[in-house]
Amino acid sequence: MRNKISRLFILSMALFGLTLQAQESTKKSPEFLQYTNSKWVDSIMKELTPKERIAQLIMVAAYSNRDNEHKEEILKLINEQKIGGLIFFQGDPETQLKLMNDYQSASKVPLLGAIDAEWGLGMRLDNTISYPYQMALGAIRDDSLVYDLGQEVARQIKRTGLHLNFAPVVDVNNNPNNPVINYRSFGENKENVSAKGIAYMRGMQDANLLTTAKHFPGHGDTDTDSHYALPQINHPFERLDSLEMYPFKELIDAGIGGVMVAHLNIPALDSTGVPSTLSKSIITGILKDSLGFEGLIVTDAMNMKGVTKGNEPGIVDKDAILAGNDLLEFTEDVPKTIEEVSKAIKQGLISQKQLDERVRKILAVKQWVGLNQFKAQSPKNILKEINTADAKFLNRKLVEASLTVLKNENSILPIRKLDTLKIASISFGASKQTEFQKTLNLYTEVKNFQLKADAKASDIEKIKEKLSAYNLVIGGIHDDSRFPRNTMKFSQPVQDFIAELTEKENNIFSYFKNPYSLNKLDKIENTAGLILTYQDNETTQDLAAQLIFGGVGANGRLPVSIGKKFKSGDGMDVKGKIRFKYTLPEDAGMNSEKLFGGVDSLMQEAIKKKATPGGQILVAKDGKIVLHKAYGYHEYSDTIKVKKTDLYDLASVTKISSALPALMKLHDEGKFKLDAGIDDYLPYFKNSNKAGVPFRQILTHQARFKPWIPYWKNTLRKNGSYKWFTFKKDSSSRFPVKVSGDLWLHRNYQKKMFKAIKKSELEDEAKYKYSGLVFYLLPSIVEEISGEDFRKYINENFYDKLGATTLGYNPLERFEKSRIVPTEHDYLFRRKPIHGMVHDEGAIMMGGVSANAGLFSNANDLAKLMQMYLNMGEYAGERYIEEETLKEWSTAQFPDNDNRRGIGFDKPSLEYEGESSNTAKDASKASFGHTGFTGIYAWVDPEEDLLYLFLSNRVLPSRENTRLYQLNARTKIQQVLYDAIE
């Protein structure tokens, strides 16, 4: 007896201290309380019978994925019992809103609609966004992002007809084995939990959505799930007060509207053993009296075994009301509850006045959320209005901000020096290529392996044998659950393999599982690079891969401790934005709807009108790829859809993508001069009419050179057959140049081509006239100056470093034919369809290697070279060309001579000429690029930091197909980009 009195005295003194603390703090009252005695609330109170008043405190479960019988059950409770609200669970937004409209129409008093949407509507409803779980949010250092999340979640919830979110969770999760809170918590640091909880709460409540802090007085240190049993917390009061209850006190002071009470047995707060939901000592004594909370007190679900075990429905709900709760969530027996509360009033266990005060509180909430002026919302366009571009962009921002780097030895992140690396990736726990691996391959060539969670030693040995060829291994450790459980289901051989890899010097792991489970992987802390994403989905995988290559950075901090491996607060900053970021248009200040809608419609029109069978389009702004899509098919009659990884013949875009960067580099080294002529580098031209003509004029197309020479025609007899000394059907030492599968050109024919260029006449006047003649000579000039093979030179100095692995000549040497988009059906020269070999006749007679044409690439890899140009010679922290050089070469050299051209680069028309202009109306005069005969367009605009690529095979079935030009599709699409910039 004495011990009991002592405990009560200590508790009372502690509560007195809490009272003083509450009085001394600057506490903001819930906003809805201003309406407790409003005219509207008064009018409703007058209309309600005593039992109807009790019913206002009851909220039952509703579903939008059930049959009409369920709907009728809810309508019966509304019509007969006059319940106060509904909490919605599984379903979809459109059906939920329709149901809510129907339920509101049937209700005497507007219904309060609630939902558990801790990470957004995706927690409950199909076809909606799931934002990061709270543990991931706990890693974010910018709380304003969490506030933005609150604003957006509120907007979405309200659009579905609801008014109350049972969030945020502010339990301090200090037990790694917690089965019910865990990743739903902001973490183990009470200050961080409080700050994130306040930011999330304020975001929602500033948007007029009521929130509840849960699960009071703190569910973080339990190893039992209260859905299935009653957890017991045995900490002393001092610990509970200073830690578990700390965030609740902070949110109460910040003005939170509601608090949800958990089902917990906490002897230090109530020695009777009753669940906290039914404890007057906890709810009235601590939450109301000591902490001074005046807002809405809500029970956790009254169907959970933590409260129902040993308690009868209806009676247990009555006990919850007597304990001090205002709102009963998930009442299972409504009539019984109303009956039992009525009895309690008659028995004097609770007065009518006390009950009426709670009813007024409920009604005040309803007025605060606008239910006093309820209007049904239309379900039309609801999915579009919920899943907006801004809503999706917010999700990516949150994931990016949560990325946490726990190891970065020797600054392995982000990866640099791609030309020195052979990279392999292994997705552990996957059976097919992951989104993580797909994104890795956007940056450079990565060999992908997958290893199932239950893999055997023999499976691992096969991968080990292949890994010997690689000097960097990137591992993705994946989850097998929708939720990031604290489990490790990898077989022992797989775990041993991971441990073995961590001991190697060059390895990076991205961990897509619950951070607590890191403690179950031996030696994972030894890896050179370790990234934590907190959960496993396409967005986390995508952004983790981008982090590895520097598309994004990281500054997240670990919100929990992981055994002895890492402690709460660990994490390091990693710089991003050194390579492309793959993202949404809104990230670059562009409008998704305008961009995608405009580009898609124009591209579909071009395909429909057979201007091209398909294509790839890539748009980047501010170094961010905001549109990267493939359209249509390889051929009109084909069933092969264009993929973003397919290669296109770049035609004349080769001019600015091969020899031109080489010449600029050589110019920077003082080895190539613009005032020199062809003869300065190829003595063969010394006695020609082209000797002494400066390259500045040649590369700006005003050197009086003929536009082109049909070299291939000189190989034909009058009857159309090939001259015997030009082609043979089989290769040999004399005929080594492959022109098609059964056509091989004489080894000396290139000399004939050079001779034809040398002897060609000059135009009469030195004015702008596009000519490709010199570009056949440029590879030889580069070789003459550099002393290196041309292909080797541009590969080593540009393509390999950029990670542009598909950009190159003669693609059949490296790629399957199925990845290469065909071009023309050539019935004049090669007399067969052209597929996998350069379309340009002159280039193929050069063995496919010319600066006039011959390059193949996909849009993604060509974009890396073009972005380097846009960056004025720099990419991924490496300088390729001096800024002054690129500025000069991309500037019009002779505009006074009516010549728009830069040095090698094309420029916009000097005066915009409508649809006949070579660029969009809004392209700046600083923009530059090139177009290609096969339907290619590559353009950058430094003033808008904008890059645009259009790859197509418009020459199919024949070059006579000029519909792409007639439609002006490429420049119309380019104008859409400017229109989409906000």
Can you name the residues that pair with 855 across neighbouring β-strands?
Answer: 809
Can you tell me the mean pLDDT for 475-485?
A: 93
CB 680 within 8 A of CB 960: no
For residue 1, pLDDT beyond 60: no
For the segment 848-864, what is each residue's pLDDT rounded down to a tens digit?
Answer: 999 999 999 999 999 99
What lies within 8 Å, CB to CB, of 382 at 6+ separation is 93, 94, 97, 159, 160
d(CA 257, CA 150): 14
Can you tell me the mean pLDDT for 418-436?
A: 97
For residue 15, pLDDT beyond 70: no
Q: Which helix (H) or strand (E) holds 72?
A: helix 68-76
61 backbone dihedrals φ, ψ, rounded to 5°: -80, 135
The dotted CATH code for 403-579 is 3.40.50.1700
Strand locations in 542-647 (E) = 581-582, 614-621, 624-632
For residue 2, pLDDT beyond 70: no
Instruction: Give the sign of the dihedral formed by CA 875, CA 881, CA 884, CA 889.
Output: negative
Looking up tokens 């390895």 gives 507
What lies within 8 Å, CB to CB, of 235 at 6+ separation is 221, 244, 268
Least confident span in 489-503, 630-644, 725-739: 725-739
Q: What is the pLDDT of residue 602?
A: 98
Phi-psi region of 553 (alpha: psi -120 to 50; beta: other; left: phi over 0): beta
Please report, for the chain, the start and end positions of each structural domain, with discontinuous segments joined by +.
Answer: 2-385, 403-579, 596-945+955-980
Out of 23-27, 226-230, 265-269, 741-745, the most confident range is 265-269
648 backbone dihedrals φ, ψ, rounded to 5°: -115, 150
Q: What is the pLDDT of residue 889?
A: 98
d(CA 506, CA 528): 7
For residue 712, pLDDT beyond 80: no
Percent of the chain surpassing pLDDT 90: 90
For the segment 244-287, what is each residue's pLDDT rounded down to a tens digit?
Answer: 999 999 999 999 999 999 999 999 999 999 999 999 999 999 99
For residue 23, pLDDT beyond 70: no
The band of 104, judged by pLDDT with boundaries at 50, 70 and 90, is very high
Can you tell me the mean pLDDT for 752-771?
A: 92
Q: What is the pLDDT of residue 16?
A: 45
Q: What is the pLDDT of residue 480?
A: 87
CB 667 within 8 A of CB 855: no
The dotted CATH code for 596-945+955-980 is 3.40.710.10
d(CA 344, CA 578): 69
For the segment 557-566, what is each residue's pLDDT rounded down to a tens digit?
Answer: 999 999 999 9
For residue 797, pLDDT beyond 90: yes
Least confident span in 363-367, 485-489, 870-874: 485-489
d(CA 792, CA 849): 12
Task: State the chain's mean pLDDT as an integer.
Answer: 95
Helix (H, G, I), strand (E, B) or coil at 833: strand
Structure-token pair, residue 318 = 């009555």
For residue 828, pLDDT beyond 90: no
For residue 303, pLDDT beyond 60: yes
Q: What is the pLDDT of residue 719?
A: 78
547 class by beta-carbon count within 10 Å (0-12 exposed, 13-18 middle, 19+ buried): buried
The band of 916, judged by pLDDT with boundaries at 50, 70 and 90, is confident
The band of 10, judged by pLDDT with boundaries at 50, 70 and 90, is very low
For residue 226, pLDDT beyond 90: no
For the segment 945-982, what is each residue's pLDDT rounded down to a tens digit?
Answer: 999 999 999 999 999 999 999 999 999 999 999 999 99
Domain made up of 2-385: CATH architecture: Alpha-Beta Barrel (3.20)
Can you name the residues that pair with 856 across neighbouring β-strands?
Answer: 649, 808
Q: How far is CA 955 from the centre of its chain?
A: 36
Q: Taking Cα atoms as reference points, which of 800, 791, 934, 959 lies closest to residue 876?
A: 800
Can you tell me the mean pLDDT for 667-687?
A: 96
Within 10 Å of residue 428's Cβ, how many Cβ atoms? 25
d(CA 41, CA 363): 6
The band of 741, judged by pLDDT with boundaries at 50, 70 and 90, is confident
Q: Which helix (H) or strand (E) holds 494?
A: helix 492-502
Q: Vertex 642, ends 637 and 643: CA angle to 5°?
A: 160
Percent of the chain surpassing pLDDT 70: 97
Q: What is the pLDDT of residue 713?
A: 81
For residue 9, pLDDT beyond 60: no
| Bridge pairing between strands 472-477 and 423-428 | parallel
Q: Taking Cα atoms as reference points, which of 191, 205, 307, 320 lies closest to residue 258?
A: 205
For the segment 29-60, what is each residue's pLDDT rounded down to a tens digit?
Answer: 999 999 999 999 999 999 999 999 999 999 99
| Most distant pair of Cα atoms in the chain: their distance | 122
Helix (H, G, I), strand (E, B) or coil at 511: strand
d(CA 433, CA 598): 32
CB 84 within 8 A of CB 77: no
Helix (H, G, I), strand (E, B) or coil at 796: helix
Can you tell me the mean pLDDT for 291-295?
A: 97
Helix (H, G, I), strand (E, B) or coil at 857: strand
For residue 7, pLDDT beyond 70: no
Q: Taking Cα atoms as reference points, which of 81, 342, 971, 928 lies closest to residue 602?
A: 971
Looking up tokens 């902070």 gives 250
Helix (H, G, I), strand (E, B) or coil at 783: helix
Can you name the residues that pair with 449 across neighbouring β-strands?
Answer: 426
Model's pTM, two decimal places? Answer: 0.95
Q: Which one-letter amino acid corresponds to residue 581?
A: K
Structure-token pair, residue 770 = 């596009």
Strand locations in 229-285 (E) = 258-261
Q: What is the pLDDT of residue 3?
A: 42
Q: Taking Cα atoms as reference points, which of 205, 139, 138 lies closest to residue 169?
A: 138
For the segment 512-522, what is each residue's pLDDT rounded down to a tens digit?
Answer: 999 999 999 99
For residue 893, pLDDT beyond 80: yes
d(CA 114, CA 95): 15
Measured CA distances, 876 to 173, 538, 576, 623 (Å): 40, 25, 10, 11
